[in-house]
Structure 1
Amino acid sequence: MTLKPPLPPFDREGAIQKARMAENAWNSRDPAKVALAYSADSVWRNRAEFIRGREQIEAFLQRKWARELDYRLIKEVWAWHDNRIAVRFQYEWHDDSGSWFRAHGNENWEFDEQGLMRRREASINDIPIRESERLFLWPLGPRPEDHPGLSELGL
């Protein structure tokens, strides 16, 4: 049995830690690494796409990061209770023509007893931005600890 702490039931600190771990993993843009945070039978709704299991999660993420270039993400805990966490997030990316976007969204997460995410519901909207409007300017990879979060950026 693989444990992925912190484990439910979540307190404030555990929920914040879980969200930051997810943010760091997604900022790695490594589909195989990210998929390991989800249960083998995890169910997702991502926008209008429905995904089941780690194999489909990994394939989805490969497609996503092939299209969403120079991806940088910030997540912030909105609420938590028992084995569930709600986050709001924003990420910046550009397409292969150099057009930049900021995606705004909300995710609802449900975890199993091992701390693996078994359900993810994501609602996301992309807003075109000019490159000069970018706010997520750290080098590719995890957001530095001293980089402001969404609230500190006024987002």
Structure 2
Amino acid sequence: MSLAPPFTAESAQKKVKMAQDLWNTQNPENVAKAYTTNTIWRNRDRFLSGQEELTAFLVQKWEKEKSYKLRKELFAFTSNRIAVQFWYEYQDSHDSMKWKRCYGLEDWTYADEDGGKMRKRQMSGNDVEIAEDERWFKDGVDVNTVEIGEQHW
């Protein structure tokens, strides 16, 4: 099955989980390879373009966000676009290693060429401080099996 556009429900779902697994590696160089060389991003209040800026951004992100664990779920799709809802938890190295959870949505647009790489990504997210006992994605837990209640969707 091709994971390049045009997407089907099955290929869009696989693309989302593949992205989730890739981001959970926390390897900036490998993550950047999933995007076109001229990719454009909005990540919260930052605007980025190209794989070099993306890689530098991801290095900074994971220097701050320790113990990072992410889950993405397909929200909607068209022939070359995917929308996802996501949650991730991390320890904030810039804030006394407090646990935080980010809730958000992403809008992805894929290039028609370039083997199905993402051309544009827009992310909106909000961080919420959580206590250790409120964590979902503890060590050894499969992020895909965690029950996330309706109040968090």
TM-score (ref. length: structure 2) = 0.90
- Give yes or no for the alignment of 1:71 onto 2:68: yes
- Structure 2 unaligned segments of length 5 or more: list them: none
Counterpart position of 2:59: 62
2:44 to 43, 47, 61: 47
CA distance in 2: counterparts of 1:30 and 1:73, whole angstroms: 14
- Once the two structures are TM-superposed, the CA of residue 148 in structure 1 deviates from its matched residue by 1.3
Counterpart position of 1:102: 101
- Give yes or no for the alignment of 1:111 onto 2:106: no
- Once the two structures are TM-superposed, the CA of residue 73 in structure 1 deviates from its matched residue by 0.1
- Once the two structures are TM-superposed, the CA of residue 115 in structure 1 deviates from its matched residue by 0.4
- Once the two structures are TM-superposed, the CA of residue 131 in structure 1 deviates from its matched residue by 1.1
1:12 to 4, 9, 14: 9
- Once the two structures are TM-superposed, the CA of residue 108 in structure 1 deviates from its matched residue by 0.2
CA distance in 1: counterparts of 2:18 and 2:49, whole angstroms: 22
TM-score (ref. length: structure 1) = 0.89
- Once the two structures are TM-superposed, the CA of residue 137 in structure 1 deviates from its matched residue by 1.5
- Once the two structures are TM-superposed, the CA of residue 119 in structure 1 deviates from its matched residue by 0.2
- Structure 1 unaligned segments of length 5 or more: list them: none
- Once the two structures are TM-superposed, the CA of residue 138 in structure 1 deviates from its matched residue by 3.7
Identity of aligned residues (%): 43
Matched residue type, 1:153: I
* Helix, strand or coil at the partner of 1:33: helix
* Helix, strand or coil at the partner of 2:116: coil
Matched residue type, 1:98: M
* Helix, strand or coil at the partner of 1:7: coil
Counterpart position of 1:23: 20
CA distance in 1: counterparts of 2:132 and 2:116, whole angstroms: 38
CA distance in 1: counterparts of 2:100 and 2:139, whole angstroms: 16
Report the aligned-residue RMSD. 1.4
Matched residues, number: 145
CA distance in 2: counterparts of 1:67 and 1:98, whole angstroms: 9
CA distance in 2: counterparts of 1:135 and 1:41, whole angstroms: 35
